[in-house]
Structure 1
Amino acid sequence: MQTAVVGASGYAGTELVRLIADHPYLSLVLMTGESTAGKSVADHVPSLAGRFPTELYGSTEDVFASHAEVVFLALPHGASQVLVPRLLDQGRVVIDLGADFRLKSATEYEAWYGHVHATPELLQTAVYGLVERHRSELRDAQLVAAPGCYPTATTLALAPFLDRGVIEASGIVVNALSGVSGAGRTPSDRLHFPRLHGNAEAYGLVNHRHTIEMQQELGAELLFTPHLVPVSRGMLVTAYARMKMDITAGVALEILRQSYADDPFIVVTANPPSLKDAVGSNLCFVSATVDPRTGWLIAMSSLDNLGKGAASQAVQAANVALGFDESAGLSLIGIAP
């Protein structure tokens, strides 16, 4: 199927281009970049030069005149709302990597994102693109809202225990470490090398926008604190929840194994996952243990923030929506060392 990537010059968009270039069923016909329109793809992203030596980025408006049947949107939050209705009216399948259609409540969206949603009627239409939780809903979906990186890692770690009533649905604490590519390509003081190198810092305390997305997906209340660490990509989540049932660490791991037995991209490990385990793949590593002394369960996960946390997850969701093999074009092998 002919495919376009709008916002192809950013980090997530570049990763989409890389994945779609070798996808067996998707054919890339347009790459756009609002600030790079007319510029060489190979010059902007040299790693793509071998496959796209002469191609140029188009402008966002070019997508409406293109032959693309599937459109991936990798744009800043808020930018998709004016594009999606027009794309749907043209009969295209839309996979949005931004936050514009993840929340079901327009009121919650305004509260957490600071502006009124332009197309609230589509919030109930969009299907949340976490395949492991919404596989059946995604089939034949026209509008897919790809989840955020933190909500993906957090949901996959905690959901099996909330689903079974093993842990309390309130008072959950989530700490997360993310590579700096999750902050996007635009330079900032916080991402300046002398400040970032050898450093780590918490940000978005109490009001990080991904909090409401996690709470919606998990049906739970949580306190979320993300941390920026000086690596380019990768994510590690450690979550803490009070247990309602007296279970062992072995039982906790068995719950994860049973929950994800049919999910090819979830790896359950007895050892705590590391931040780099999943880098370069669509994998998410999950693990859990319990502390009988305090009555807390510890759930852990790691993924590639540009992979399962963004681009490859969007491709996985598109595969399901379009009726392809779920694993088409995606890697089950990370990069090591």
Structure 2
Amino acid sequence: MKISVAILGATGYTGAELIRLIDAHPHFEIAHLGAHSQASKLAGEVLPGVGGHIAAMTLQPADALLPDEVELVFTALPHGAAAASVFTALEAGKKVVDLSADFRHKTHDVYRAAYGADHPHPELFNEAVYGLTEHVRDQVACARLVANPGCYPTSVLLPLIPLLKAGVIDTTSSIIIDSKSGTSGAGRSAKTDLLYCEINESVKAYGLPRHRHAWEMEEWALGFAGCETKVRFVPHILPMNRGMLSTLHLSGSNTASWFDLLQQAYAGEPFVKILPQGTLPSTAGISGSNRCDIGIALLSESEAVIVSCIDNLLKGAAGQAIQNANLMFGFDETTGLARHALWP
């Protein structure tokens, strides 16, 4: 039996990755592709990477009526634009995995602080499950709306939550997080600062003084670990297609136990890999996989550096979305997802 799927926002990098994953999935099949400015074109005209029958599908307006047979909707639309589509899909009886930021927060006040706008459907905040899969499997399995976490928060929260739960992190001052992402994380829309001559041979920070994902990290550190946390988060963009590396500068107690705490937290997890002590991950080591690789370097009894790597388009977006959708429909969460990176 196949589950019919709609992808709204199909022509962005995340949408294209969803197409690639779903077309190869044994239980999902694409029945509807929604776009915004590219509506009425063939998918193959807009997405040079797609082939076969998908390339011949006509892109529908993002707000077009969904076919009756569709049971699952992925919304890969910009924040602010996704909320209305999510509401409409839920009203039509569909399950939704939202890859925008529109349902990642628990209160309207936090959403407004992070995104500078009012939310059109705050009544859905309490229903949405924040889909950091490894920590909410049971809730995801019962959900009709999953808010897929942001890529930066995924890379930060996976190593941070077990240590916060164990009470070994000093939260009296800000946790310093330095993150770097490939340019696909900035989306596919034309932007002057992403032109080849602007981005090549260059690294730059952005989003200061406070990037919107800082609110997400703090809110869900509290949600999962039960402690107030402040982060000093600085993201950087690198001249590479994909990949994300986050470096967490941490202080606390008994750092010698941190490696074991992380190993115990993620023992048997298919998509979280704790590297041997002293070994640090690289973006090449996870590219094309749905894995998060985590390495730890102990500096002293009270200080350590943790490095976390994900593919921003997979574990940071489309891959984690499929992982959550698998659980929502009772499939093994690894179905259709790669544990192994593209190498070389």
TM-score range, shorter chain: over 0.9
Residue 220 of structure 2 is aligned to residue 214 of structure 1: no
- Residue 36 of structure 1 deviates from its aligned partner by 1.2
Greater Cα shift, 224-233 or 313-322 = 313-322
Of 59, 71, 77 in structure 1, the residue corresponding to residue 73 of structure 2 is 71
Of 189, 195, 199 in structure 1, the residue corresponding to residue 198 of structure 2 is 195
Of 265, 268, 273 in structure 2, the residue corresponding to residue 259 of structure 1 is 265
Residue by residue, what CA displacement relative to the aligned partner does 1:78-115 show, whole Å, maximum 9, x if unpaired? Answer: 11111222211111001100000000010011111111
Residue by residue, what CA displacement relative to the aligned partner does 1:175-215 show, whole Å, maximum 9, x if unpaired? Answer: 00000000000111210110100100000123101000000
On the 8 A contact 1:80/1:98 being kept in 2, the answer is: yes
Q: Cα–Cα, structure 1 residues 313 and 108, in superposed 2: closer, same or farther, change >3 Å?
A: same
- Residue 255 of structure 1 deviates from its aligned partner by 1.4
The letter for the 2-side match of 1:317 is N
Residue 338 of structure 2 is aligned to residue 331 of structure 1: yes
On the 8 A contact 1:265/1:332 being kept in 2, the answer is: yes
Q: Cα–Cα, structure 1 residues 67 and 198, in superposed 2: closer, same or farther, change >3 Å?
A: same
Cα distance between partner residues in 1 of 2:254 and 2:320: 34
- Residue 62 of structure 1 deviates from its aligned partner by 2.8
User: Can you give the 5+ residue segments of structure 2 that lack an aligned partner in the other structure?
Assistant: 223-228
Of 301, 313, 318 in structure 2, the residue corresponding to residue 306 of structure 1 is 313
What is the aligned partner in structure 1 of residue 167 from structure 2? 165
- Residue 63 of structure 1 deviates from its aligned partner by 4.2
Cα distance between partner residues in 1 of 2:74 and 2:180: 27
Greater Cα shift, 137-146 or 36-45 = 36-45
Q: CA RMSD in A?
A: 1.3
Normalised TM-score (structure 1): 0.96
Cα distance between partner residues in 1 of 2:52 and 2:182: 26
On the 8 A contact 1:253/1:289 being kept in 2, the answer is: no
Of 96, 99, 115 in structure 2, the residue corresponding to residue 97 of structure 1 is 99
Aligned residues between the structures: 333
Cα distance between partner residues in 2 of 1:205 and 1:11: 24
Residue 285 of structure 2 is aligned to residue 277 of structure 1: yes
Normalised TM-score (structure 2): 0.94
Cα distance between partner residues in 2 of 1:53 and 1:81: 27
Q: Cα–Cα, structure 1 residues 326 and 231, in superposed 2: closer, same or farther, change >3 Å?
A: same
Of 230, 237, 250 in structure 2, the residue corresponding to residue 241 of structure 1 is 250
Cα distance between partner residues in 2 of 1:269 and 1:64: 44
Greater Cα shift, 215-224 or 301-310 = 215-224
Task: Spell out the pairing of 1:77-88 with structure 2 (5 A cutoff).
Answer: 77-88=79-90
- Residue 51 of structure 1 deviates from its aligned partner by 5.2
Cα distance between partner residues in 2 of 1:199 and 1:86: 42
- Residue 158 of structure 1 deviates from its aligned partner by 1.3
Cα distance between partner residues in 1 of 2:316 and 2:193: 21
What is the aligned partner in structure 2 of residue 107 from structure 1? 109
Give % identity.
39
On the 8 A contact 2:255/2:304 being kept in 1, the answer is: no
Q: Partner of 1:154: helix, strand, or coil?
A: helix
- Residue 53 of structure 1 deviates from its aligned partner by 3.7
On the 8 A contact 2:32/2:66 being kept in 1, the answer is: no
- Residue 66 of structure 1 deviates from its aligned partner by 4.4
The letter for the 1-side match of 2:312 is N
Residue by residue, what CA displacement relative to the aligned partner does 1:144-189 show, whole Å, maximum 9, x if unpaired? Answer: 0000000000001211111101111242100000000000001112
On the 8 A contact 2:75/2:85 being kept in 1, the answer is: no
Q: Partner of 1:257: helix, strand, or coil?
A: helix
Q: Cα–Cα, structure 1 residues 66 and 184, in superposed 2: closer, same or farther, change >3 Å?
A: farther
Q: Cα–Cα, structure 1 residues 246 and 61, in superposed 2: closer, same or farther, change >3 Å?
A: closer
On the 8 A contact 2:63/2:85 being kept in 1, the answer is: no
- Residue 18 of structure 1 deviates from its aligned partner by 0.5
Residue 9 of structure 2 is aligned to residue 7 of structure 1: yes
Cα distance between partner residues in 1 of 2:126 and 2:115: 18
Q: Cα–Cα, structure 1 residues 64 and 51, in superposed 2: closer, same or farther, change >3 Å?
A: closer
On the 8 A contact 2:74/2:99 being kept in 1, the answer is: yes
- Residue 123 of structure 1 deviates from its aligned partner by 0.6
Q: Which runs of at least 4 in structure 1 moved beyond 3 Å after TM superposition?
A: none
Of 297, 300, 319 in structure 2, the residue corresponding to residue 292 of structure 1 is 300
